[in-house]
Amino acid sequence: MSDEPNNKSQKSTPTNSAIASHEASLIVQTQILGVFLHDIGHQTDHLSMIIDQLNREIAAQIGALPRSELSNHIEAARASCNHILQLVRNMRDAVRPRSRIETFRLGDSVRDAFSTMESTLERLQIDCKLAIDESITLRGDQNALKQVFLNLIINSIEAVNSTPRRKYNAIHVEAKRLSRTSIAKCEFWDEGPGISPSAFPNVADIFHSKDISHSAKVGIGLRIVSLILRNEFGADISLVSREGAHFEISFPCHETKKTKE
């Protein structure tokens, strides 16, 4: 009996790592979509309240309502509408399927992720502090790395929102290339409460948790982050400190081969 059908079947079957990476990507995209939908709902509710108030005031004070006050209400409604439109654009960009291998700068991917979440960060008054060596280049799916940083940013936003407001809230990203090596170290942390030992007594569980309970949401996100980094870039992520959820990612840099004259 010929083995040809089995060979064809094997060739058409994706590898386990490819399947895991694809599933991780879909989960992250769904999580990102959920965040944007939540923000859209918040802005829509706000818009409805403004319009209702405007209608009540016009009905009660028609002819007596100062034009400047009416204009302010209209401008507020317009601003909310524009905010919703921008969120929709960001949502479409975040979930648009793009998978290609390319050479790119780490800084570009990080800035792209923060740009996608810009409106949410501004609304919550969370600053972003970036200090990235622009010489760091990577090889892989740039959109997959953007999803990694989106996941980390979302976790940070949720962490900051879960605690009393501070005078200053920020998300920090610093990256530099280690001297005389092809390794780049990227650190990510925030001003939130950090990762509770009661939720994850064992640090290793943070990157491997399959628990989908609300209390383990950070574990779910970091498991996906770890999968994408390892499968797409051969990179490792580790916890530097529980305080502020301080993580470090070790990337193998892409070396551009120089041709001899």
Average pLDDT of every residue of the chain:
75
pLDDT at 215: 38
239 or 58, higher pLDDT? 239
- Are 200 and 219 in contact, with CB atoms under 8 Å apart? yes
167-183 tens-digit pLDDT: 678 999 999 999 888 99
pLDDT tens digit sequence for 119-152? 888 888 889 999 999 999 999 988 889 889 988 9
Check if the beta carbon of residue 253 is closer than 8 Å to that of residue 136.
yes
pLDDT for residue 182: 92
% the chain with pLDDT above 70: 56
CATH architecture, domain 102-252? 2-Layer Sandwich (3.30)
Yes or no: say if 193 and 159 are a contact pair by the CB < 8 Å rule: yes
Q: What is the pLDDT of residue 11?
A: 45
Q: Does pLDDT of 248 surpass 90?
A: yes
Lowest mean pLDDT among 1-5, 24-28, 65-69: 1-5
User: Is the model's pLDDT at 220 over the cut of 60?
Assistant: no
What number of residues does the chain have?
Answer: 261
Residue 84: name the closest of 41, 25, 134 by CA.
41
Cβ neighbors of 96 (< 8 A, separation 6 or more) are none
- Give 66-123 pLDDT, tens digit per residue: 556 666 776 677 667 766 766 666 666 665 555 678 999 999 999 999 998 888 888 8
Task: Give the CA angle between residues 203, 205, 209 to the nearest 5°.
Answer: 150
Kindly tell me the burial class for residue 170, based on how many C-beta atoms sit within 10 Å of its own C-beta (0-12, 13-18, 19 or more).
middle
pTM of the model: 0.62
